[in-house]
């Protein structure tokens, strides 16, 4: 009997979150890591960022002795064991306290500031990937602004080549960083400094502008803007509709009467363009389709102008907090020719959608005389719309 080879064990990392500082520079009545950021404490967001990562097997939070109640209120439920320990008077003393509480079974430890709540999975992944071949790895961003020396007056400039803005999480193999901190006298700016003083090599991994450290009072407003940006609800909806030709001397397309040798048949005015955009908006809202809101069996919609349907969809989007940011409509027919009317159709569609014409596209194509549109039995239409709730 062949026994299948077992998968190699997945390396496991502890997240060590230092949260014992007083946040003096940020001000406020309580330390910054416990202040609310768009409905959640900063520390809650930081802990969730690590708790949600599949490689994290343990979470150690280093807190101040006086913050027991604040910590209890901010602590989220996590699938991993979460322990809290009391920190020291400096960041590196707090890290040492945390390292002592990391489970020996962990391969790596990711040391992270509680004050960086917007760390992304990509930043964490970058550090973990680099740890497969290095003792240490940490995210950073290259310095892009010019650097000066001076106080109120510029006294000199500093070459920025090879300079980086350090971020966290700073990740290490557990044994080497414990040894490095045990050998360090204290006073380091970060754990990379401690690691390098011990002779460990540290790889630079991609940082992110969003991974800001809340330090000064204004940083709360910036972090709130970023959280709102991450929460933005962007939706795309598509629509498709077909109407067959029948007797008549014009077709209604995008609210305009276009002269033609035949008309379009339908319960309403059969404006296939407006119907398709209407369905795309309902689709983005997950609100059914045009037939849900205006059943063809209902006589009150007989012969009605189709801008009534589209206006309903536009208003429904607004009531649900969405702005329509774009609509793209393609009409598929051999005749009538759409090109001469596309500009006017676009303007009328934009008017009904209540957005600028630069956000609306009306295009047309033939189907190369193939299929029902090619045989001039009717007109088909496709539409895509984008809705954004800030």
Ligand X SMILES: Nc1ccn([C@@H]2O[C@H](COP(=O)(O)OP(=O)(O)OP(=O)(O)O)[C@@H](O)[C@H]2O)c(=O)n1
Taking CB under 6 A as the criterion, the residue among 40, 190, 334, 376 binding ligand LQXTBERG is 190
Beta strands of 281-350 (E only): which ranges?
Answer: 323-332
**Cβ-count burial of 69 within 10 angstroms (0-12 exposed, 13-18 middle, 19+ buried)?**
exposed
Q: Is 291 annotated as ligand-binding? A: yes
In the chain, DSSP finds a helix count (H) and a strand count (E) of 12, 19
166: contact with ligand LQXTBERG by CB under 6 A = yes
Number of Cβ within 10 Å of residue 300's Cβ equals 7
The answer to whether 359 and 293 have CB atoms below 8 angstroms apart is no
User: Running DSSP on this structure, what letter comes out for residue 25?
Assistant: T
Minimum Å gap between C-beta 322 and ligand X is: 37
By a kind-dependent CB cut-off of 5 to 8 A, residue 19 interacts, out of ligand X, ligand LQXTBERG, none, with: ligand X
Distance CA 315, CA 352 (A): 10
Nearest CB to ligand LQXTBERG, comparing residues 194 and 270: 194
Q: Is 21 annotated as ligand-binding? A: no
Q: Which residues of the chain form contacts with ligand X (CB under 6 A)?
A: 18-26, 33, 62, 87-91, 94, 113-115, 213, 215
Taking CB under 6 A as the criterion, the residue among 35, 181, 184, 213 binding ligand LQXTBERG is 213
Distance CA 160, CA 145 (A): 8
Token digits of residue 298: 């209902």
Token digits of residue 43: 């520390």
Closest C-alpha to 22, from 64, 60, 61: 64
Minimum Å gap between C-beta 139 and ligand LQXTBERG is: 10
Q: Is 268 annotated as ligand-binding? A: yes
Q: Is 234 annotated as ligand-binding? A: no
Nearest CB to ligand X, comparing residues 219 and 289: 219
341: contact with ligand LQXTBERG by CB under 6 A = no
Q: Which residue is nearest to ligand X (CB)?
A: 21
Report in angstroms the alpha-carbon separations of 88 from 4, 85, 213, 279, 379: 49, 10, 20, 60, 74
Q: What are phi and psi of 46, to 5 degrees?
A: -65, -45
Q: Is 278 annotated as ligand-binding? A: no
Nearest CB to ligand LQXTBERG, comparing residues 170 and 276: 170
Could you list the residues that contact ligand LQXTBERG (CB under 6 A)? 91, 113, 166-168, 189-190, 213, 215
Q: Which residues are annotated as a binding site for a divalent metal cation?
A: 241, 243, 275
């Amino acid at each position: 009997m062949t026994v299948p080879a077992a998968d190699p064990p997945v390396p496991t990392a502890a997240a060590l979150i230092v949260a014992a500082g007083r946040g003096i520079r940020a001000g406020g009545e309580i330390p910054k890591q416990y202040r609310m950021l768009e409905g959640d404490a900063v520390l809650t967001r930081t802990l969730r960022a690590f708790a949600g990562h599949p490689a994290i097997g343990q979470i150690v939070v280093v807190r101040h002795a006086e913050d027991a109640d604040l910590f209890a209120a901010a602590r989220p439920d996590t699938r991993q064991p979460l322990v809290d320990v009391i920190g020291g008077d400096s960041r590196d003393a707090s890290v040492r306290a945390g390292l002592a509480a990391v489970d020996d079974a962990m391969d790596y430890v990711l040391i992270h500031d509680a004050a960086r709540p917007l760390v992304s999975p990509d930043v964490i992944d970058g550090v973990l990937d680099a740890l497969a071949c290095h003792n240490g790895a940490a995210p950073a961003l290259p310095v892009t602004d010019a650097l000066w020396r001076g106080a109120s007056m510029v006294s000199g400039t500093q070459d920025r080549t090879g300079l980086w803005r350090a971020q966290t999480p700073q990740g290490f193999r557990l044994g080497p960083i414990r040894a490095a901190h045990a050998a360090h006298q204290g006073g380091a700016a970060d754990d990379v400094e401690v690691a390098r003083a011990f002779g460990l090599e540290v790889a630079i991994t991609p940082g992110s502008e969003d991974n800001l450290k809340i330090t000064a009072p204004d940083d709360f407003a910036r972090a709130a803007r970023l959280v709102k940006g991450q929460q933005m609800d962007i939706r795309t909806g598509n629509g498709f509709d077909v109407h067959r030709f029948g007797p008549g001397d014009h077709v209604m397309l995008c609210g305009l009467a276009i002269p033609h040798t035949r008309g379009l048949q339908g319960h309403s005015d059969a404006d296939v363009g407006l119907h398709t955009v209407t369905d795309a908006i309902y689709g983005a809202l997950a609100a059914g389709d045009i037939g849900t809101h205006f059943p063809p069996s209902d006589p009150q919609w007989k012969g009605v102008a189709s801008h009534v349907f589209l206006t309903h969809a536009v208003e429904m989007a607004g009531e649900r907090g969405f702005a329509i940011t774009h609509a793209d409509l393609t009409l598929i027919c051999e005749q009538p020719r759409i090109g001469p009317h596309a500009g006017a159709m676009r303007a009328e569609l934009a008017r009904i959608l209540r957005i600028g014409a630069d956000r609306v596209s009306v295009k047309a194509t033939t189907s190369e005389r193939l299929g029902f549109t090619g045989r001039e039995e009717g007109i088909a239409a496709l539409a895509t719309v984008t809705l954004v709730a800030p």
